[in-house]
Amino acid sequence: MNSIAVQITNFLKEYVPFNRLNTEELGEIASSIRVLNLEKNKTLFKINDPLHDSFYVVASGLVNLSIISDAEETILTKCHEGTIFGLRPFFAKNNYIMTAKAREESVVYAIPIAVFRPFVASNPDVLNLLLENFSVDKRNAGDNENFENNLISENSIFTGQQNGMQFFQNLSFNTNPLITSGNTVIKEVAQLMAENRMNNALICEKNIPVGIVTDMDMSSKIATGRFPISDSVDAIMSYPVITVSENVSLAEAQLMMLKHNVTHLCVTIDGSDKTEIKGIITEHDLILAQANNPGVLIKEIKRSQNASELKQIRRRLADIIQSSIQKNIPLTHISNIASEVNFAILKRAVEQSILELGSPPARFAWFSVGSQARKEQLLLTDQESFLVFEDVVPEKYKAVKDYFVELAQKTTAKLEKVGYVICPNGHIASNMIWCKSVSDWLKQFESWMKNPGEKNNQISSIFFDYEIIFGDQRIEEALNSIVFENTTNNTLLYDFLGNDALRTNSPLSFFKKFLVEEEGPFKDKFDIKTRALLPLIDGARMFTMSFGIKGINNTYVRFKQLAITDPKHAEIYLDCADAYLTLTKFRTLEGIKNDDNGQFINIEELSKIDREKLKNALAPMKELEDLIKHKFQLTQFS
């Protein structure tokens, strides 16, 4: 390796994603790099330029990325030393949508994509770093946030959040591809592709893929005169076809295309070229999937201007949830993604309201409650919230409270437009009762916990499942202090909460039949929320509070932590954790099917296997009930 290559190698290994490669690999890449010296104001590429065969790293100096907005050039980001940019040729075929111009005299390394591609194809970690936030959706071009990382494409900026989303994200693809036989004349195939507006055709024998022809084959082999148009299509087809299974993820598909240097993947029953065709995945499908990346959704949420835009994003989240469940992606992973997007929507709704109303007159915190706070809201269920503002002098109290009530009213109205219906019990920040100062809330929580049951219509156990969405973290810490101070040795509280939890009717009859609704609009349906999920949620909350476990709201995670904290009863907790996931999946699927909150399930519509799965998931509830009675010495419902 020559001295320049050594110098480049030593430079690259300090930066993501090159630090994921070994010295030998970096040396091979460095040996093929072109060093570009850019004078001040020199343009490397501009909007609508054809894509280059390289991407770039700033070795020294400063390069600006800009777009044309409102007839003016708007700088999106400044690329300093170590910043990667120009990744577009990796993931798209259309021209650049940004301009790269040297802000000062700069040195830039041009890394040939053909050289770098094999290292990406053999290293999923590097691919995920490059792919993480790439989207050709032009709305992503307007991100003006400050980022600390060094990966920048012309579309979006890498945020450094390594969460593996790409390896779980689902792909939509054409399930009705154009299929022909190898002896079909090329001219006929070209006509079929044109008539069907497709850029590819699969060549099959008995619905088994043997080859593929694309518009690129037509232009490079037919238009150039290498093959006559009267030949059979098997003369120009590419083979063997690269095949994948229908549950392939976005990252896996991208990896396969990079590894085999192809633009199409054939989907078959088992992912091999020995089984029947299920569809075709194109580069365009990957681009569309990238636009629905949860990370991209969050960026769009941050730039949204109104409730209508938030509603469209929430609908796209629903599609991600549905497709992820269908792919049998772990429910815990789906919940994590959904909660991040939900939290971003809630936060943005507050921000939009502040922009409309003006700056707050005091510090405050907006809290979500219940399923949102527990990160369990996969369906569009009630919005439950409360608002806490800092203590102010008495003469300012009314004006300050009036501001925050109005802020809450604007925010909850926006969220209602998004699809989060207002809690029917009034547990909502726009209700004056749930919008108070820090001192008032501390008194309220202390009253609820020291005198539970005095005002049944106002106390609710969900108020021990809260999560700050927006505002001053110190306010949350103040609430936490009063809550956990009053959970210690509070026999009266646990007696009330325990009996309240045990008051729920059993989900099964003595003869192991599902107890369904006897009247009303949901007659003969099973209330999976009230009879099955809430007892588990209540039980997990009670035990977590009693053991002083802080910072965990999610029911599944609570049971997992309880198994560690109380190993004597670990088996019960772990069974309850599994049961909770199973029941949640049943409810979510029911909600998706009926476009509602999934609370009531038609048992008759379930298969025999699913009915047994549902019954088995209810089994741990009796053991949990007995454990609650024993732990908190409850006798009323024994």
pLDDT in tens, 378-419: 888 889 999 999 999 999 999 999 999 999 999 999 999 999
Tokens of 358: 């003006």
Whole-number pLDDT of residue 539: 92
Interval 192-245: pLDDT, tens:
998 988 889 999 998 899 999 998 888 888 888 889 999 999 999 998 899 988
Please, which pLDDT band fits residue 128 given cuts at 50, 70 and 90? low
Model's pTM, two decimal places?
0.62
Tokens of 224: 């150039």
Interval 472-499: pLDDT, tens:
999 999 998 888 888 888 888 888 888 8
- Give the mean model confidence (pLDDT) for residues 525-535: 92
Whole-number pLDDT of residue 142: 33
**How many Å separate Cα 432 from the centre of its chain?**
33
Window from 187-201, 287-301, 534-548 with minimum mean pLDDT? 287-301
Measured CA to CA, the distance from residue 125 to residue 122 in angstroms comes to 9
Whole-number pLDDT of residue 224: 84
Alpha-carbon torsion angle 346, 351, 353, 359, nearest 10: 140
Q: What are phi and psi of 632, to 5 degrees?
A: -105, 10
Q: How many CB atoms lie within 10 A of CB 479?
A: 20
Residues 6+ apart with CB under 8 A from 117: 258, 261
- Give the mean model confidence (pLDDT) for residues 73-84: 79
**Which residues sit opposite 267 in a β-bridge?**
244, 279
- Percent of the chain at pLDDT > 90 equals 42
Whole-number pLDDT of residue 638: 37
Measured CA to CA, the distance from residue 367 to residue 427 in angstroms comes to 11
pLDDT of 563 over the 50 cut: yes
Measured CA to CA, the distance from residue 136 to residue 127 in angstroms comes to 17
479 neighbors 388 (Cβ within 8 angstroms) = yes
Whole-number pLDDT of residue 158: 31
Give the containing element (helix H, strand E) for 167.
none
Residues in the chain: 638
> C-alpha angle 450/454/458, rounded to 5°?
95
Taking alpha carbons only, the member of 561, 539, 560, 563 closest to residue 549 is 561
Give the containing element (helix H, strand E) for 469.
strand 466-471
Window from 75-84, 101-110, 372-381 with minimum mean pLDDT? 75-84
Taking alpha carbons only, the member of 565, 552, 560, 537 closest to residue 621 is 537
Please, which pLDDT band fits residue 93 given cuts at 50, 70 and 90? low
Stronger pLDDT, 68 or 221, i.e. the higher one: 221
Whole-number pLDDT of residue 157: 30
Measured CA to CA, the distance from residue 638 to residue 626 in angstroms comes to 8
pLDDT of 135 over the 60 cut: no
pLDDT of 456 over the 80 cut: no
200 neighbors 282 (Cβ within 8 angstroms) = yes
Residue 244 gets the label, from left (phi > 0), alpha (psi -120 to 50) or beta, of beta
Whole-number pLDDT of residue 455: 55
Please, which pLDDT band fits residue 308 given cuts at 50, 70 and 90? very high
Taking alpha carbons only, the member of 59, 40, 55, 231 closest to residue 134 is 55
Whole-number pLDDT of residue 391: 95
pLDDT of 457 over the 60 cut: no
Whole-number pLDDT of residue 151: 46
Window from 90-99, 331-340, 361-370, 598-607 with minimum mean pLDDT? 90-99
Whole-number pLDDT of residue 11: 92
Decide: helix, strand or coil at residue 637: coil
Whole-number pLDDT of residue 1: 64
pLDDT of 500 over the 80 cut: no
- Give the mean model confidence (pLDDT) for residues 277-304: 81
Whole-number pLDDT of residue 283: 82
Q: Which residues of 520-533 are buried (b: 16+ CB within 10 A; e: fewer)?
A: eeeeebbbbbebbb
Which one-letter DSSP state was computed for residue 605? G
Please, which pLDDT band fits residue 144 given cuts at 50, 70 and 90? very low
Q: Taking all residues of the chain, what is their mean pLDDT, rounded to a whole number?
A: 84
Interval 621-637: pLDDT, tens:
889 999 998 888 875 54
Taking alpha carbons only, the member of 204, 313, 317, 220 closest to residue 263 is 220
Amino acid, single-letter form, for residue 158: F
Whole-number pLDDT of residue 140: 33
Site of tokens 């100062």 = 437
Q: How many CB atoms lie within 10 A of CB 69?
A: 11
pLDDT of 352 over the 90 cut: yes
Please, which pLDDT band fits residue 518 given cuts at 50, 70 and 90? confident
Window from 39-43, 259-263, 298-302, 424-428 with minimum mean pLDDT? 259-263
pLDDT of 76 over the 90 cut: no
- Percent of the chain at pLDDT > 70 equals 87
Measured CA to CA, the distance from residue 567 to residue 553 in angstroms comes to 20
3-state secondary structure 417-460: HHCCCECCCCCCCCCHHHEEEHHHHHHHHHHHHHCCCCCCCCCC
Whole-number pLDDT of residue 170: 60
14 neighbors 90 (Cβ within 8 angstroms) = no
Whole-number pLDDT of residue 250: 77
**DSSP secondary structure string for all residues of 174-192:** BSS--EE-TTSBHHHHHHH
Whole-number pLDDT of residue 596: 85
Whole-number pLDDT of residue 149: 42
Site of tokens 């003869």 = 511
Measured CA to CA, the distance from residue 203 to residue 184 in angstroms comes to 9
- Give the mean model confidence (pLDDT) for residues 282-310: 81
Tokens of 121: 């194809």
pLDDT of 462 over the 90 cut: no
